[in-house]
Structures are given as structure tokens and as C-alpha cells.
Chain A
Amino acid sequence: MLDLRDVTKSFGGNRVLDGISLTVERGEMVCLIGASGSGKSTLLRCINLLEPIDDGAVFLDGQDISEPGLNPDPVRRRIGMVFQSYNLFPHMTAEENVMLAPRRVHGKSREALRPKVTELFTRFGLADRMQHFPDQLSGGQQQRVAIVRALAMRPEIMLFDEITSALDPELVGEVLDVLRQLRSEGMTMVLATHEMKFAAELADKICFLDAGRIAEQGPPSEIFKAPKKDRTRAFLARIL
């Protein structure tokens, strides 16, 4: 469903993505691992068209979404993204955060949205937090609201950029549980993550990024148990 072909991206003279090719099938969960600065965030931002790519192509269901000059808004509606720092809108309640995009983009009224939004909040254990502002919520709750906000647009694919990295350790579990739930519902997902145990348990495919290249990719059993490349082995030895 998502198909990256030889994607390159530079900032100034710094080549951050250097020929990335990757396919993600419908319902798959792909985890991007790699050292800080290896290009994981940039790759996700390029898929969501928050950054234009320099060369190569990104296909979503066969459509070339990396076409320069393409209106990015309709594409972004089909792709949900969740960030490391939550990025909730601080001046809105949790419910308003979630309703803003469906209201403006799909032109639906609050009343029409309420049943489905309430259902989403309930599904992720946030039913009693809908009227709270972000600064009244814990990090884990904020991140779950951010996930609900992305889901409310009914995306076909979700991107997660190290969404547990800013959380206190005891809050990581509740956010990972949300991901497990989404996984079981068949959501297509691409994650940049340092949660290796979680990736090993749930991912269909692991991609090890090293200096803007996919140094190695394969099922978790291969990457974690029997990595072929020295770089992968060195990285895993450092992190595990």
C-alpha cells in the first residue's frame, strides 16, 4: 500500500536520506530502528509530506504522492501521524483537539461527530478526560489523545515517531497498549521506535537505518536473532 523508491533528502549539504526503498503492505506493522540522527523522523515526515523529498518517489496505493506541486492536504488526511512531543493544541480541550480536523476538513458538526469521538475516547480509556486541557493530562494521556486525534480522521495508515520517548517509564506501557490494540484491529503502521522488545513482539518487518540508508531489513526474528550486518549487530549490542 505504501511504496518508497530510492528516496533521497538533503538538508543543506547534509544527505539525511540516501536512497531509501521500502514497501509496507496493508495491515502490516513496520518498525524503523537506528541510532539518533540516522533519519527515522525525516523519513516519516517525508511520507507525510511535511518535508518534500529531493529525488525518488513515494507511492500510496499506486498514486505518486511525492509529485512536486501536488496539493498535500488530501494526502495527509489519509495518513495519520503522531509525534514524540504529542503536539496537542494547548488552548483546546482533548475533545476539541480531536474534533477540529473532522469539523474543518469533513465539514461535520460537533453533534454529528460526538458519538464516534466519544467511542474513540472510551476505546482508549480516556472517556473521563474529554473535557480536560492538555496541561491537565499526564504525558501518557496526552499521547493517547494525540493518537485518538489522528484516528478521528480515519487514516488508512498511521505513522508514529518515537511516541514513547518523551514519557516517564511507567507511562510507556499504556501507550504501547494502544499500539497493540491498533495492531489487532489491522491498522497499517510505520513506527520509529527504541522499544526493541515491543518491535520484536509485534512488527512484521524491522528496518535498520544507518546514516540515511536501510542497512538491513527483515522480520524481527532475523534482525534481532541473526543480523547479517556488523553495523546492525553493533547497534543492537549497544541498545539491548
Chain B
Amino acid sequence: MTLQEKTDGAAAAAAPPRRTRRQAYETRVRRRSNTVAAVSTALVVLAIVTLVPMAPGWEAVKKSFFNAEVFAQTFPRLVQAFLWDIAIFAWSVPLITVIALAIALARDTRNPALFPLRLFGILYTDIFRGIPVILVVYLIGFGIPGLGLPRPWNSPYIWGTVALVLTYSAYVAEIFRSGIESIHDSQRAAASSLGLSQSDTMRFVVLPQAIRRVVPANMNMLIALQKDVALLSFIGPVEVLRQAGVFKSLLANFTPYVGAALIFLSVTIPATRYADYLIARQRRERS
């Protein structure tokens, strides 16, 4: 870029009306690529809509998976059942946050007296990240109520939640720990040089920055958790997947599962978009 163009640019910034050659060019390019994208998408959709119904089993599939009547009949109850998913999710999140932070801090301690805590933190994250979620749900969800505890302590809602909380705390703890480690040592040095104690340095300087930095990663964990709540259907709670299964047996039709999938998507797609937006924003802020 020559000096002349640079000053031109500055003038354009001050007085916007005249578009620069660059802007005109970029608009042309953007318009052309939008057209290409629209046309190719339309072609693909057209192909699916015309080709799929030509498959020999399409009529049968349509009747058992995309049955409008069954859908209308079951969908409201599915939405109601989904309130359980939301409730289980909602009370799991604060528990996960607290436990995960405690585990992350335990793994970060350097005090030898607290070594057992650190060891526990390591074992905990290794074990619960090493077992499939469904297995933890089975072991805790069937195992602990099997001890013959009195009501309400034999509720699968409680122990299912415990299983999810234990598993997800292990993953989220690792995310927090990576956040803590990503804070540059110079921040700790600055805090130490002011005479702040180790714990104050962690609490006021390192953690606030670390937590902010891992918000997008934790958003993705929350989305995964929202879906995994459905695993509790295997041990009893009548949440949306279980409710869909009940309808499937009752009506001998798979449409309720499609309905359940739609309900999940209506939550997870906006959440995923939001997480991606946060990641993009953070990348922009850091550059």
C-alpha cells in the first residue's frame, strides 16, 4: 500500500459516503459467492426431496417415523417429559461447577500436607474420565438404590443425577485446570511481588481470568450434558427419551423418537451456535 492510498483510506474513514475500490470489489465477490451457495444448496435439497421418496421402503418409513398423526398426539407429552431433562440438567450444573472447581484446585496444590487431596484429584479425574458415562449411570443408578435405602433415598432421579455429576465434574475439572495453567506466570509473579498470599493470588488474580477463558469449552460440556441426561432413561426417570419409548411401544410407531430428537435439537443448536460465537469472540479479543 502506498502512502497516497493510506491517506485516502484515512479520509474515507472520516467521511464515509464514497466507497473505496476495495469495498466495491469485496461486495461483488460476496454477492457472487452468495449466489453460488444458494444455487448449490437448492440443488441438493431438490435431489433429496425427489430421490428419497423413490426408495422402495419410503412409504413404510414415512408411516413409522414421520407420522403426522402420531406426532400431533404425542408431542405435547414429550415436551412435558422434557421438563424433567431440564430440571435434572438445572440442578446438576451448580453441583458440577462446585465439585469441578474443588478438584481442579486440589490438583493444583503444592502444599505437601495436602498431597492426599492432590492424589485424590488425580485418581478422581482418571477414573471418571475413563469409564463410559452409561456404565457410571448403571453402576450408581442400580447399585446404590440396591442397598435398600429408605425413600426418598432410593430414587433413581437422585442417583442418576449423582452419576452425571460425578462424571461431568471430572471433565469440567480438567477444563478448569487447563484454564488455570494457561494464565501466564507473570500474572502470578506480579501478584506475589505485591505480597499477596498464594490463595489470594489464585482467588483474585488467576481464577477469574481462567474461568473466563474456558467459558466456551464449558459451554460445549453443558451441551453434551444436556444430551446425556437422556441416559438416565435406562434406570427409571421418565424423561423425554423414556416417554418416547413408552409411546413407541404403545403405538408401535417410531415417530415419538423423531419428536424427542427435534426437542433436543431445539435446545442444542442455539446453544452450539452461542458457544461458537463465544469462541470466535475470544479469538478476536486475543489477537
Which residues does A use to contact B, with CB under 8 Å? 45, 48, 50, 72-74, 76-77, 79-81, 83, 85, 87-91, 100-101, 104-105, 146, 149-150, 153
| Known A89-B187, A91-B208; contact A100-B196, beta-carbon cutoff 8 A | yes
20 A-B residue pairings within 8 Å (CB atoms):
A50-B189, A50-B192, A73-B196, A76-B193, A76-B194, A76-B195, A77-B195, A83-B186, A85-B186, A87-B186, A89-B205, A90-B209, A91-B208, A100-B196, A100-B204, A101-B195, A104-B204, A149-B194, A150-B193, A150-B194
B185 vs chain A, min Cβ distance (A): 10
B124 vs chain A, min Cβ distance (A): 29
How far does the alpha carbon of A76 sit from the alpha carbon of B193 in the complex, in Å?
6
How far does the alpha carbon of A72 sit from the alpha carbon of B192 in the complex, in Å?
9
Q: Would A91 and B194 count as touching, CB distance under 8 A? A: no
Contacts of A48 in B (CB 8 A): 193
Q: Would B187 and A104 count as touching, CB distance under 8 A? A: no
Given contacts A89-B191, A101-B194, A150-B193, 7 further A-B contacts (CB under 8 A): A87-B186, A89-B204, A91-B208, A91-B212, A100-B204, A101-B196, A153-B194
Using CB atoms, name the residue of chain B closest to A89.
B205
Q: Would B192 and A76 count as touching, CB distance under 8 A? A: yes
Q: Which of B93-132 contact A (CB under 8 A)?
A: none
How far does the alpha carbon of A77 sit from the alpha carbon of B190 in the complex, in Å?
12
How far does the alpha carbon of A76 sit from the alpha carbon of B192 in the complex, in Å?
7
How far does the alpha carbon of A72 sit from the alpha carbon of B201 in the complex, in Å?
14
Which residues does B use to contact A, with CB under 8 Å? 186-187, 189-197, 200, 204-205, 208-209, 212
Q: Would B186 and A104 count as touching, CB distance under 8 A? A: no
How far does the alpha carbon of A81 sit from the alpha carbon of B192 in the complex, in Å?
10
Q: Would A104 and B193 count as touching, CB distance under 8 A? A: no
Query: Which secondary structure dominates where chain B touches chain A?
Result: helix
Q: Would B194 and A74 count as touching, CB distance under 8 A? A: no
Q: Would A100 and B194 count as touching, CB distance under 8 A? A: yes
| Known A100-B204, A104-B200; contact A87-B195, beta-carbon cutoff 8 A | no
How far does the alpha carbon of A85 sit from the alpha carbon of B184 in the complex, in Å?
12
How far does the alpha carbon of A74 sit from the alpha carbon of B194 in the complex, in Å?
10
How far does the alpha carbon of A100 sit from the alpha carbon of B195 in the complex, in Å?
11
Contacts of A85 in B (CB 8 A): 186
How far does the alpha carbon of A90 sit from the alpha carbon of B200 in the complex, in Å?
16
Contacts of B187 in A (CB 8 A): 87, 89
Q: Would B192 and A87 count as touching, CB distance under 8 A? A: no
How far does the alpha carbon of A85 sit from the alpha carbon of B192 in the complex, in Å?
16
Contacts of B209 in A (CB 8 A): 89-91
How far does the alpha carbon of A154 sit from the alpha carbon of B205 in the complex, in Å?
21
Contacts of B196 in A (CB 8 A): 73, 100-101, 104-105
Q: Would B194 and A87 count as touching, CB distance under 8 A? A: no
Contacts of A101 in B (CB 8 A): 191, 194-196
A141 vs chain B, min Cβ distance (A): 17
A132 vs chain B, min Cβ distance (A): 17
How far does the alpha carbon of A153 sit from the alpha carbon of B191 in the complex, in Å?
12
How far does the alpha carbon of A72 sit from the alpha carbon of B198 in the complex, in Å?
11
- The listed residue (B190, B200, B208, B212) touching A87 by CB distance below 8 A is B190
Contacts of B212 in A (CB 8 A): 91
